Amino acid sequence: MQEPSSTRVQELVARLRAAGHRLTPQRLAILCSLARGDAHPSAEAIFAEVRALHPMVSLATVYNTIETLKEMGEVLELQFSTGNRYDGRLATPHPHLVCTHCGRIEDVALPALQSAVDAAARHLPFTAAVPRLDFYGICPACRETAPLQNR
Ligand SMILES: [Zn+2]
Ligand SMILES: [Zn+2]
């Protein structure tokens, strides 16, 4: 059984256990895949990664685990026309950089955004308006290899 590596994984393990969920080795591997790094994986990417370690895991288990964590407010779902991606490290809405070439998604820290969100919350007639902010561009790795017209 894989050891929970990061404190974020340990946090997710604790939350699931406290909510009475059973923690199988497959589930733990899903948590590790969700919470590690800045990758914002798709369910399919998590499935591929976990299946390499646990061949018996099903895509349904991956979706169920994500859904459970989403309902607990521990995973942020980012919907794209190309498919949903997930952030298991930071579940509160935050801005992202999206590479239009390879689909890589990274967090971007914009402290000034919070005051805009607060101002909008004061004026909008909606309750709990959730901001969604994506910046589209070409990531450094793709810029290295992309044809000139994409730079
Ligand atoms: Zn890229
Ligand atoms: Zn993120």
Are 75 and 69 in contact, with CB atoms under 8 Å apart? Answer: yes
Give dist(CA 114, CA 122) in Å, integer. Answer: 12
Q: What angle do CA 42, 63, 52 make, to 5 degrees?
A: 65
Mean pLDDT of 9-37: 93
Distance from Cα 138 to the centre of ligand 1, integer Å = 5
pLDDT digits 0-9 by tens, 105-139:
999 988 888 888 888 878 877 766 677 899 999 99
Residue-wise pLDDT tens digits, 65-91: 999 999 999 999 999 999 999 999 999
Ligand showing the shortest atom-to-Cα distance for residue 144? 1
The per-residue pLDDT for 128 is 64
44 CA → ligand 1 middle, Å: 19
The structure tokens 């992309």 sit at 146
Q: What is the DSSP letter of 150?
A: G
Task: Check residue 145 and give its pLDDT.
Answer: 85
- pLDDT bracket for residue 64 (50, 70, 90): very high
For residue 111, the tally of other CB atoms under 10 A from its CB is 6
pLDDT > 90: percent of the chain = 67
pLDDT at 123: 80
Under the banding of pLDDT at 50, 70 and 90, the label for residue 47 is: very high
Going from the Cα of 151 to the center of ligand 1, the distance in angstroms, rounded, reads: 11
pTM recorded for the entire structure: 0.84
Please tell me the distance between residue 45's alpha carbon and the centre of ligand 1 in angstroms.
Answer: 16
pLDDT at 1: 41
Which ligand is closest in space to the CA of residue 104?
Answer: 1
* Ligand with an atom nearest the CA of residue 87: 2
Ligand in nearest proximity to the CA of 132: 2
Residue predicted with more confidence, 116 or 21: 21
How far away, in angstroms, is 2 Cα from ligand 1 center?
A: 30
